[in-house]
C-alpha cells in the first residue's frame, strides 16, 4: 500500500523460508479509496468517511481502543464466543449456543443475542448479590440493605442499573471478592460498548432499534463472565448422605456449566446438610459455597420432566402487590408463577417476600474436597 492510495495485490500460493522462495503472482495495481495517515504521527484518533451512492458512513477509531484490542489478542484468557459456550454456567451457555447457531434470520439473531446478554447480566448480578451479602457478613454490617428488592425486573436496563449502583455508586468494586472482574464493566471502552448494547436492547424491545454489532459487546461480556466463573462453579449438591459413624455429610457437587447432562462434579464432605438440587456457587480453592436462592431455582415440573435435577429457573419479576413472583425457565419461552398458595413452592414465595423487603444474612456452607473429577 503506497501513500498515494495505490494498492499492489500479491497472491501467494506457497510461502517459503524467505521471500525469494515464495511462489506468487503479482496482481494489477489499483487505487484504494482511502487516505494515508502517515503525515499525522501524533494523532490520537482517526475519523473515516465512506461516501456511497445512496448511503454514507463515518467511523471513529481511538488509539486507546487499538491498544486495548491488541492487548486482548495477546491475552490467552480472552476467548471467542464459541470457545466459551461450554465453559460458562448453564443459564448463560444455553442462550449463547442459540445465538451462535443462528446465522441467517436477523430477527432471531437479535432476539437470541438479547437473551444471551440478559442472562449474562442476570447471573452476574445474582453472583454480585451473594458477594455483597458475604462482604456484609464478614464486616458485621447491621444497617438495612435492599439490593434484591430494588430490582424491578430481570431485563437489561434494570440489571445494568443495579450493577452500576453497586459497583460505582456504592464503590463495591474496591470491596468485592470473587466478583471483582465485574467492576471492569464500568471502565472506558468496555463501559461504552456494554452501555450501547443495553440501550440497543431497550430500543429493540420497543421496536425502535436499528441494526447493531452484537458480537463484539457480547464477546466482552462473555469474557468478563468467564473471568468470574472460571474459579467459581455454578451448580448444586446431590446424593448427600449422613455418615454412619460420624456427624459429617458426604456427597457430590454437580457443576452446571455448558449444557445438560452435566458430567463434571466434585466429591465433597460437609459439616451440615444443605438442601439438594438448590443453586450454589462453589469455590473449590476456598472450600466454601454460597447460596443463590431464592433468585435462582432448580425445580422438576411434572409436566416437563428434565433429567434428575429438573429445570433451572431465574427470578424474573414480582407482582406489584408483592403476592406472586414470576420465574423464567432457561431454554423455554414460559413462566413459572410462585405464590404462597403453591403446594410445593409456597415456602419459596414467603422467602422471596422477606428477601425483597430486606437482604438477609447469607449462609456459608463449609465444603471439604474429597476428590476432584
251 in the same domain as 203: no
Q: Report the C-alpha gap between 275 and 252 in whole angstroms.
A: 12
Per-residue pLDDT, averaged over 17-30, amounts to 78
Provide the grid cell at 79.
Answer: 476467548
204 in the same domain as 300: no
217 in the same domain as 245: no
Range of the domain at 325: 233-372
pLDDT at 17 over 80: no
Supply the DSSP string of 61-120, one letter for each residue: EEHHHHHHHHHHHT-TT---HHHHTTTSBHHHHHHHHHHHH--S-HHHHHHHHHHHHHHH
pLDDT at 28 over 90: no
Coil, helix or strand at residue 272: coil
Provide the pLDDT confidence category of residue 72 given band limits of 50, 70 and 90.
Answer: very low
202 in the same domain as 150: yes
pLDDT at 257 over 50: yes
323 in the same domain as 273: yes
189 in the same domain as 240: no
Peptide bond into 261 cis (omega under 30): yes
Among left, alpha and beta (phi > 0; psi -120 to 50; other), residue 258 is left
The average confidence (pLDDT) of the chain is 87
Provide the pLDDT confidence category of residue 23 given band limits of 50, 70 and 90.
Answer: confident
Cβ contact 179:162 at 8 Å: no
Q: What is the pTM of this model?
A: 0.79
Provide the grid cell at 95.
Answer: 442462550
Of the given ranges (42-46, 74-78, 299-303), which has the lowest mean pLDDT?
74-78
Is 75 within the bounds of a domain?
yes
Which span out of 46-50, 70-74, 97-101 was modeled with the highest average pLDDT?
97-101
Q: Report the C-alpha gap between 242 and 182 in whole angstroms.
A: 38
CA torsion angle for 295, 299, 305, 307 (degrees, to 10)? 90
What is the pLDDT, as a whole number, of residue 166?
A: 97
pLDDT at 67 over 90: no
Q: What is the torsional sign of CA 222, 224, 227, 228? A: negative
Phi, psi of 224 (to 5 degrees): -65, -40
81 in the same domain as 214: yes
For residue 90, how many C-alpha atoms fall within 13 Å in the half-sphere facing its CB? 28
Provide the grid cell at 183.
Answer: 467492576
* Beta strand segments in 257-357, E: 265-270, 280-283, 288-291, 296-299, 311-318, 324-329, 336-339
Task: Decide which of 106 and 312 is more confident.
Answer: 312
323 in the same domain as 247: yes
Strand partners, 290: 281
pLDDT at 1 over 90: no
What is the pLDDT, as a whole number, of residue 245?
A: 79
Per-residue pLDDT, averaged over 285-299, amounts to 95
183 in the same domain as 72: yes
Q: Report the C-alpha gap between 122 and 94 in whole angstroms.
A: 14
What is the pLDDT, as a whole number, of residue 209?
A: 56
Is 55 within the bounds of a domain?
no
Number of domains into which the chain is organized: 3
What is the pLDDT, as a whole number, of residue 4?
A: 73
Residue closest to 179 by CA, chosen among 115, 218, 231, 139 = 231
pLDDT at 26 over 50: yes
Share of the chain above pLDDT 70, in %: 87
Per-residue pLDDT, averaged over 7-31, amounts to 77
Is 310 within the bounds of a domain?
yes
Query: Which of the 8 DSSP states describes residue 46?
Result: E
What is the pLDDT, as a whole number, of residue 8?
A: 81
356 in the same domain as 248: yes
Is 59 within the bounds of a domain?
no
Q: Which helix (H) or strand (E) holds 134?
A: helix 106-138
283 in the same domain as 222: no
Per-residue pLDDT, averaged over 204-231, amounts to 84
Residue 333 sits at the vertex; the CA angle it makes with 330 and 337, to the nearest 5 degrees, is 80
Phi, psi of 97 (to 5 degrees): -65, -35
Peptide bond into 294 cis (omega under 30): yes
68 in the same domain as 210: yes
**Predicted confidence (pLDDT) per residue in 133-175, tens digit:** 999 999 998 889 999 999 999 999 999 999 999 999 999 999 9
Amino acid at each position: 500500500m503506497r501513500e498515494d492510495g495505490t494498492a499492489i495485490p500479491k497472491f501467494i500460493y506457497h510461502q517459503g523460508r524467505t521471500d525469494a522462495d515464495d511462489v506468487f503472482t503479482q496482481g494489477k495495481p489499483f487505487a484504494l479509496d482511502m487516505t494515508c495517515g502517515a503525515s499525522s504521527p501524533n494523532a490520537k484518533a482517526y475519523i473515516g468517511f465512506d461516501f456511497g451512492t445512496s448511503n454514507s458512513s463515518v467511523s471513529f477509531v481511538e488509539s486507546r481502543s487499538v491498544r486495548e484490542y491488541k492487548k486482548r489478542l495477546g491475552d490467552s484468557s480472552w476467548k471467542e464466543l464459541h470457545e466459551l459456550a461450554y465453559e460458562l454456567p448453564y443459564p448463560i451457555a444455553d442462550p449463547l449456543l442459540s445465538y451462535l447457531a443462528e446465522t441467517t434470520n436477523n430477527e432471531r439473531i437479535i432476539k437470541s443475542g438479547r437473551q444471551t446478554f440478559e442472562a449474562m447480566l442476570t447471573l452476574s448480578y445474582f453472583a454480585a448479590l451473594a458477594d455483597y451479602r458475604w462482604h456484609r457478613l464478614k464486616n458485621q454490617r447491621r444497617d438495612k440493605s435492599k439490593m434484591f428488592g430494588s430490582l424491578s425486573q430481570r431485563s437489561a436496563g434494570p440489571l445494568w442499573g443495579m450493577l452500576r449502583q453497586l459497583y460505582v455508586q456504592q464503590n463495591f468494586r474496591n470491596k468485592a471478592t470473587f466478583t471483582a472482574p465485574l467492576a471492569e464493566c464500568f471502565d472506558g471502552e468496555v463501559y461504552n460498548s456494554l452501555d450501547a448494547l443495553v440501550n440497543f436492547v431497550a430500543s429493540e424491545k420497543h421496536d425502535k432499534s436499528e441494526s447493531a454489532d452484537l458480537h463484539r459487546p457480547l464477546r466482552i461480556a462473555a469474557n468478563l463472565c468467564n473471568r468470574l466463573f472460571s474459579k467459581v462453579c455454578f451448580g448444586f449438591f446431590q446424593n448427600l448422605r449422613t455418615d454412619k459413624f460420624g456427624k459429617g455429610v458426604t456427597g457430590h457437587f454437580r457443576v452446571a456449566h455448558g449444557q445438560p447432562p452435566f458430567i463434571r462434579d466434585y466429591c465433597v464432605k460437609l459439616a451440615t446438610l444443605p438442601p439438594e438440587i438448590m443453586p450454589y456457587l462453589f469455590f473449590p480453592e476456598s472450600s466454601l459455597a454460597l447460596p443463590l436462592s431464592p433468585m435462582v431455582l432448580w425445580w422438576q415440573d411434572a409436566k416437563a420432566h428434565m433429567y434428575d435435577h429438573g429445570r433451572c429457573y431465574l427470578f424474573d419479576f414480582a407482582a406489584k402487590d408483592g403476592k406472586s413472583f414470576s420465574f423464567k425457565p432457561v431454554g423455554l419461552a414460559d413462566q413459572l408463577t410462585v405464590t404462597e398458595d403453591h403446594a410445593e413452592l409456597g415456602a419459596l414465595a414467603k422467602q422471596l417476600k422477606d428477601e425483597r423487603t430486606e437482604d438477609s444474612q447469607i449462609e456459608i456452607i463449609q465444603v471439604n474436597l474429597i476428590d476432584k473429577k
